[in-house]
Structures are given as structure tokens and as C-alpha cells.
Amino acid sequence: MAVQHVSRAQEPAKASLLYDPKVRSIFFQVVLLLLLIAGVWWIVDNTIENLRRSNISTGFDFLRGRAGFDISDTPIQYSSDSTYGRAILVGFWNTIIVAVAGIVTATILGFIIGVGRLSRNWLLRKIAMVYVETFRNIPPLLVIFFWYLGVLAVLPAPRDSIVLPFGSYLNSRGFYFPRFLWGDGAWLIVAGLVVGIGLTWFVARRAKARQMTTGQRFPVFWTGLALIVGFPLLGFALAGFPLTLDFPKAGTFNLTGGFNVKPEFLSLYLALSFYTAAFIAEIVRAGILGVSKGQSEAAAALGLRPGTALRLVIIPQALRIIIPPLTSQYLNLTKNSSLAVAIGYPDLYAIGGTILNQTGQAIEIVVIFMIIYLSISLVTSFFMNWFNARMALKER
Amino acid sequence: MQEHDMSWVRTEMALAQPAPRSEAGLGSWVRKNLFATPIDSVLTVLGLLFATWALSQILGWAIFNAQWTGTDRTACLTVDQGGALPSGWSGACWAFVNAKFAQFMFGRYPVDERWRVILTGIIFVALLAPLLIPRAPYKRLNAILFFAVFPFIAFWLLIGGFLGLSYVETPLWGGLLVTLVLSYVGIVVSLPLGVLLALGRRSKMPAVKMLSVIFIETVRGVPLVTILFMASFMLPLFVPPGMTFDKFLRALIGVALFASAYMAEVVRGGLQAIPKGQYEGADSLGLGYWQKMGLIIMPQALKLVIPGIVNTFIGMFKDTTLVLIISMFDLLGIVKQNLADANWATPQTARTGLVFAAIVFWVFCFGMSRYSMFMERRLDTGHTR
């Protein structure tokens, strides 16, 4: 029999410091940090030298200077006499507007197509598949150009506008629809809406409490709908219908009055929505497929009808799978909105670029970009994480 | 009573009955897949109407009404616009693509030197194809040639300036050439860099970990446009005065850094999916860190995340179009530039050029995604239940 004689007579010699993982790790990190500091110092030194040579003053004082350029879409008060800071704020709001509009449309479209890809109907499945495979494999910038140059730019001139229902027009200068002009007392409508939402919340709470104790159900949805629609209507009537519509009128060369959505916004909005919807559709499909079949079978065994099972069993579980990747799609859409610069929609990036050309403050502008985009990303992911935590599986 | 009749036992199987008529054949398939419920029937009819309309529009525009030949814009103009086509005509102006095809491929690359680009392309395909076919032999040699030797050959062929080839400066490059070079370099650089960043992010060394996290999250948080913008406006500020960077190189650095941050997150997903036992097993065998990662962990982790890696490649391929914002001309950029050509200004030009670019991009991206699905099935060695 082989017997191993292990002698512990003497302690093994202390290993060389060279082979101690702790020492190695500290040494490696110190070297890395030193290299990094040297690199940063070199860059900063060069940058200061370069800026000194080209006579560019650093700092954010330039934000108070007069902008001197006009912006086509201004959601907040702005003129060419406003400051650079104000111009950046306009760009920020334009980015937010197109991102929010795109997210809402892309989500709705994406859910419809995603569910369509799982439909029992062969034709619907194939149509949804063709949509997804087309848009997923084309660059978003190309989609934007297609809408802008290929579709909207070749629409007829304002003189021969395409007439649409409800007094709206479509021509090469964009989409025109009646502007709502609110008169005195319009605040009553908002007040009505707030009261309606508050009452609905209250009713929903009471109804749930009652169902928990007595098992009796209360038609919360219809009551809520009546409250939320009814109260603003009541406010509208009480204030004496304070609404006039400003219809766009055809002039000699252009349409006057009404509300004009510019082709730049339209193409960016449509392209981002269509492009992102393809990705959201795949996420929705994966989410629904990710709920195990036993869940729907169990729901059927409990006697739930397909619609109820979908609403109470499948969707809540699918949402858990859907939300995290959906968040990153929302962030992607927001970041892709910077492609606006290619067609001249004045978003944050486009306005920042204009300011850079005027002042030469490259570093400050890039820092502003980074801060704003990073904070939009952080706020979005914070909100979605909160929503995700609410939706997450409550385990014991 | 019955016992006496049990003497006969059937020795062969009864022939299978044909499926009931309601379950077999085209009629049943149609009923099940198209007209299962009344709502389904309505949706089918609507879908059929939509599909017929869309198909007839697309085919009519792209094929039946299209103008294939011509030397200038008059080929694609209607009578009221000053051409010969009937009023109200709407079709693709492929003549435009035909006339500009060489530009779409090579940009302003000197005509006499274009054989160099074509030769590079042939070598590229000749090296790539056997790499992609699983059964082709000499994989290791092939990979070394493709990833380590080919870049130098391509550099010599495309830029030149030594060994008997004349120098072609990068501002002359354009079209599909730029798109492919940017994507190739992005892919070759971003995968190893992404693996390193992912390892850094999971490292036990706080300094390494922190730096990786800061880099990855910053790059992922801002749009690629901003990164390209930085690369094109700020890199020149960072280097000593007098030292200049090629604009193309700056864009390459921007694209590669951007892609590597996304790649790092994909690889990290794979690393997290490897059970702890694998790490401990490698440790107990006495493997060092790089041996453990290179021989045990990475082969498993990378295999798991092939779809994610290919998705990143596809995303990067599509993102190369953004270089047109820093006024370089990739395929989309050169198409867009040519749309402004007064010689070809017709209402159909923009649509035709963009559809052509879309088809090229689509073919590449769709090919990549299908190949990744194929590899996924091939490498699936029982991780999925």
C-alpha cells in the first residue's frame, strides 16, 4: 500500500514577494493608476497648450453671450437675442419632445406587432415578421433620410396641399392642423380632470377593499372612464365652452394659421418610432414566449377566460421579462434622437454643434452633451428600475 | 364464452387510417391558420387586402414602372416635369444607381487604382468564407491570416505609398469601402477590447474595476454621435501641437471604443452565466488567471453570448452610417451626397438611392443574423433544457 508520508517538520519557506497575489495586485493597480495619471496629465497639458495657442478662453461664461441665430422649433420663448444657455435649453426640450413622442408611439406599435408575431393567424404572423426583419436590418439614419428626402420632401408644394379630414393639410412644409385656442375659464377643464382622476383612484381603492371583504365586484373601469371624461366635460360646459379653433387657411404661397408640424420633426419622429418598434416587438414576443405554458393552462383550469387569463396571468409575468430590455430600447431611442442633426431638427446636439462652430468651445459643449445625455439616461433607467421593482416577483 | 375465440392473434399492425378529412390537407390548414374565429377571418381579409396593396405598390414601383437605363435625369421625368414619361408616373429610377454605382462602391478613390480595392475585397472574401464554413480545414492558420496578417495587406493595398503602390489619401475613400473598413476594424478591435473590459469589470482589483465601470457606463450613456464628435473635435486638442491625426483614423477610434463598451456588457453577461464551480475547478487544477480565463471560462462564456456579440456587430455595422455627421462619406453618405447632383434631380432620385442603400445594408445585416442563428444551433451542446 502506498502511504504518503507528509512531513510537516518545517514550515514551507515564505514564498517570494514576487509570487504573492496580494502584492502583485497592488503593484499592478499602482502601475495602472500611475499610467492613467500620466496620460491624463499629458492630455490636459496638451489641451491647455493648444487652447492657449488658438486663443480660446475656457469656462462656461460663453453661455451668457448672445446666440444670434434663429431656431425653427422653439417650445419655449426664444429669439436670436437670447443667450447661448437659452439656446441649449431649447435644444434640450426639443430632444425631450421627440424622444417622448417616439417612445409612446414605438411602444404602442411594438406591442401590436409583437403580439401579431405570435398570432394564430398565419398571415398576420408573416406581415409582422416582414416588418420586424426589414426595420431591424436597416440603419436608423437611413430610415430618417427616407422619410425626410424620399417621402416628405417630394410632397406637393403648399399651393396644392393634400387636404385631410378635420381641416388639416399635408404638404412639403409639413403637417398643418387646427390650433386649439382656449378662452377664459379653461382652467375648469383641468380642474375637472384632476377631480375625475382623484375620484377614480378613491373608487378603485374602495372597490378593491369591498371585493376583498365581500367578494362583490364593482365596475371600476366604466365608472372611472365616466368620471375622468365627465368632469372635464362638465368644467368645459360650466366655463361656457371656451374653445375656438384656428383653422389653417390656404394663402397664395403658404398656409397661414393653424398648427404646423415641420417635416424635420415628422421624419425624425416617424423614423425613430418605426425603427424602435421593430426591436420592441421582438422584446414583447420574447416576453410572452418566456411565460411558461403551464401558466396559461393553469389559468384555463381555474376557469379563466382567455382575455382574463391574458390580463391577469400572462401579461403581469411577461412584463417582468419585458421591462429591463424595454428600458434599454427607450434609452437607445433617446440617444438616436441625436441623429436629428443630419436633417436639421434643432435638438440638443444640433444646437450644440451650431454654438461650437460660433464659439469654438469644444470641451465645454461636449461636457454639456455628456452631462445632459447621461442624466437623461440615468433618470429613465431610474424610473424604469422603480417600475421594474414594482412589477417584480414578490417572493417570500 | 369469449375465451374460446381468443385463439386468433393478429400478428401484423393494422394499417394507419388516413387522417380525418377535417384535419388534413390545404382546407384544414387554411381553416386553422386563417379563419379560426370570426375575428380571425376579418383580420385575414384585411391583412390580405393590405398585403396585396403593399406588394403591388412595391413591385410596381421597384420593377414594373422602374426606369433601368438612362444617362441623365430626363430618363426619370414625366411629361409635365420635362421628360418623356406619362404624367403621374411613379417608379424607381435605377438608372441613377446604375450611373453612380462605381461611386457608391469606391467613393472618390482614383479610377486607375480601384483594382487595389477589388483585390482587397477578393482576399477578404477568400479568407472569410473558409472561416465561416465549419467544415473547412486549417481554422487556426486561417484565423491568424484573417485577423493578424490581412490588416497589414489591406493597409498596404488600400493606402499604399510604399512597396511600389502610389499613396491614396483617406479623404478620397468613400462608399461601401468606408463602411466595410470601419466595420471590420471595429469588429477586430472591439471584441478583444470588450473581453478585457468585461474581465476588468469583474476583477477583484478595485482600481481596475472602477476604471472599467466608468469607461463602460460613460460610453454607453452617450450617443455615438457625441463620441464621434469628441473624436473629431477633441482628439486634435489632446495631442501635442503639430501632431495631426487622420480624420478616418479618428472615426475608427471612436467607433471601436463605442463598440467595445457594448461588447463588454455582452461578454459580462456570458461570464455571469458560467457556474462558480467552473472557476473553482480551474483554480483547483492550479491554473493561473489568464490560463483559467483563456482555457476554461471564455470558451464557454463566449459561446453562450454569440447572439449578443453578433447583435453588437450588426449594431456597429449600422452605426457606421453616422460618420456622415462628421462629414465622411460611407455608403449612405455618398448616396446622400449624390442626391444633390443637379444632373439627376428628379422626384424619384432620393427614394431610389436610399432604397438601394437600404437593400445593401439589409443584405449584410440579415446575413450576419442568419449566420449567428446557424452557429448558435451548431454550438448548442446542451446548455438549453
Q: Does A349 touch chain B (CB under 8 A)?
A: yes
Closest CA to A251 of A175, A157, A159, A155: A159
Q: Does B206 touch chain A (CB under 8 A)?
A: yes
Could you tell me if A278 and A212 are in contact, meaning their C-beta atoms sit under 8 angstroms apart? no
Residue B169 lies in a domain: no
A231: DSSP letter? H
Superfamily assignment of A84-155+261-391 in CATH? MetI-like (1.10.3720.10)
Chain centroid to CA A307: 29
Query: A42, A132, A138, A335: best mutation site toward chain B, by most B Cβ within 10 Å?
Result: A138
Q: Which residues of A touch B255 (CB under 8 A)?
A: none
* Residue B3 pLDDT: 56
User: Per the CB < 8 Å rule, is B314 touching A353?
Assistant: no
CA-based nearest residue in chain B for residue A34: B207
Please report the residues numbered 33 through 52 in chain A whose beta carbons come closer than 8 angstroms to any beta carbon of chain B. Answer: 33, 36, 43, 46-47, 49-51
Q: What does the pLDDT look like over A282-312, one tens digit per residue?
A: 999 988 888 888 888 999 999 988 778 888 8
Q: Which residues of A touch B350 (CB under 8 A)?
A: 145, 149-150, 153-154
**Which band of pLDDT confidence, cut at 50, 70 and 90, is reported for residue B72?**
confident
Residues 6+ away with beta carbon under 8 Å from B113: B160, B166, B168
Please report the residues numbered 116 through 155 in chain B whose beta carbons come closer than 8 angstroms to any beta carbon of chain A. Answer: none
Map out the domains of chain A as residue ranges: 84-155+261-391
Closest CA to B154 of B127, B117, B186: B117
The C-alpha cell at A192 is: 375637472
Residue B101 lies in a domain: no
> How many CB pairs lie under 8 A apart between chains A and B?
153
Q: Name the minimum distance, in Å, from the CA of A215 to any CA of chain B.
A: 33
Averaged pLDDT, B237-241: 79
Q: Which residues of B touch A154 (CB under 8 A)?
A: 347, 350-351
Residue B337 lies in a domain: no
Q: Which residues of B touch A51 (CB under 8 A)?
A: 237
Query: A41, A44, A112, A121: best mutation site toward chain B, by most B Cβ within 10 Å?
Result: A121
Q: Name the minimum distance, in Å, from the CA of B163 to any CA of chain A.
A: 35
Q: Is the pLDDT of residue B288 over 50?
A: yes
Looking from the CA of A182 toward its CB, the CA atoms found within 13 Å total: 9
Q: Which residues of A touch B44 (CB under 8 A)?
A: 121, 123-124
Residue B275 lies in a domain: yes
Q: What does the pLDDT look like over B313-372, one tens digit per residue?
A: 998 999 889 888 888 888 998 998 888 888 888 888 888 999 999 999 999 999 999 988
Separation in Å, CA B112 to CA B109, B162, B167, B176: 9, 17, 12, 18
User: Per the CB < 8 Å rule, is B347 touching A124?
Assistant: no
Residue B284, domain extent: 187-328
Closest CA to B352 of B335, B369, B327, B328: B335
- A360, exposed or middle or buried, with CB in 10 Å at 0-12, 13-18, 19+? middle
Q: Does A380 touch chain B (CB under 8 A)?
A: no
**Which band of pLDDT confidence, cut at 50, 70 and 90, is reported for residue A390?**
confident
User: Per the CB < 8 Å rule, is A142 touching B218?
Assistant: no
Give the integer Cα–Cα distance in Å for B21 and A133: 36
Q: Is A126 left (phi over 0), alpha (psi -120 to 50) or beta?
A: alpha
Q: Which residues of B touch A53 (CB under 8 A)?
A: 241
Q: What does the pLDDT look like over A242-277, one tens digit per residue?
A: 777 777 777 666 777 677 788 888 899 999 999 999
Q: Is the pLDDT of residue A2 over 60?
A: no
User: Per the CB < 8 Å rule, is A50 touching B237?
Assistant: yes
Question: Which of A53, A139, A356 is opposite residue B321, by nearest beta carbon?
Answer: A139
pTM for the whole thing?
0.84
Split into its structural domains, chain B has a count of 1
Q: Which residues of A touch B354 (CB under 8 A)?
A: 142, 145-146, 149-150
Strand ranges for A222-311 from DSSP E: 243-246, 249-250, 255-256, 259-261
CA-based nearest residue in chain B for residue A378: B221
Q: Does B307 touch chain A (CB under 8 A)?
A: no
User: Per the CB < 8 Å rule, is B224 touching A370?
Assistant: no
Q: What does the pLDDT look like over A23-44, one tens digit per residue?
A: 888 888 899 899 999 999 988 8
Question: Which of A28, A150, A374 is opposite residue B354, by nearest beta carbon?
Answer: A150
Residue B236 lies in a domain: yes
Write the DSSP string, B185-215.
HHHHHHHHHHHHHHHHHT-S-HHHHHHHHHH
Residue B249 lies in a domain: yes
Query: B344, B362, B385: best mutation site toward chain A, by most A Cβ within 10 Å?
Result: B362
Could you tell me if A180 and A166 are in contact, meaning their C-beta atoms sit under 8 angstroms apart? no
* Residue A1 pLDDT: 47
Residue B300 lies in a domain: yes
Residue B303 lies in a domain: yes
Q: Does B38 touch chain A (CB under 8 A)?
A: no
Place of cell 414576443: A285
B148: DSSP letter? I
- Which of helix, strand or coil describes residue B382? coil
**Which band of pLDDT confidence, cut at 50, 70 and 90, is reported for residue B195?**
very high
User: Per the CB < 8 Å rule, is A146 touching B351?
Assistant: yes
- Which of helix, strand or coil describes residue A5? coil
Q: Which residues of A touch B262 (CB under 8 A)?
A: none
Q: Name the minimum distance, in Å, from the CA of B165 to any CA of chain A.
A: 35
* Residue A316 pLDDT: 85
Range of weakest confidence among A140-149, A340-349, B54-63: A340-349
Q: Is the pLDDT of residue A127 over 60?
A: yes
Q: Does A395 touch chain B (CB under 8 A)?
A: no
Q: Does B39 touch chain A (CB under 8 A)?
A: no
Q: Within 10 Å of residue A181's Cβ, how many Cβ atoms?
A: 11
B170: DSSP letter? G
Mean pLDDT computed over every residue of chain A:
83
Range of weakest confidence among A103-112, A175-184, B10-19: A175-184
Q: Which residues of B touch A339 (CB under 8 A)?
A: 225, 322, 325
* Residue B260 pLDDT: 93
Q: Name the minimum distance, in Å, from the CA of B238 to any CA of chain A.
A: 5
Give the integer Cα–Cα distance in Å for B188 and B177: 16
User: Per the CB < 8 Å rule, is B241 touching A46?
Assistant: yes
* Residue A14 pLDDT: 63
Query: A22, A23, A29, A155: best mutation site toward chain B, by most B Cβ within 10 Å?
Result: A29
Q: Is the pLDDT of residue B24 over 80?
A: no
User: Per the CB < 8 Å rule, is A139 touching B218?
Assistant: no
* Residue A137 pLDDT: 92
Q: Which residues of B touch A345 (CB under 8 A)?
A: none
For B242-265, letters b (16+ CB in 10 Å) and e give: eeeeebbebbbbbbbbbbbbbbbb
A260: DSSP letter? E
Q: Does B26 touch chain A (CB under 8 A)?
A: no
Q: What does the pLDDT look like over B127-143, one tens digit per residue?
A: 888 888 888 888 888 88
Q: Name the minimum distance, in Å, from the CA of B351 to any CA of chain A.
A: 4
Q: Does B319 touch chain A (CB under 8 A)?
A: yes
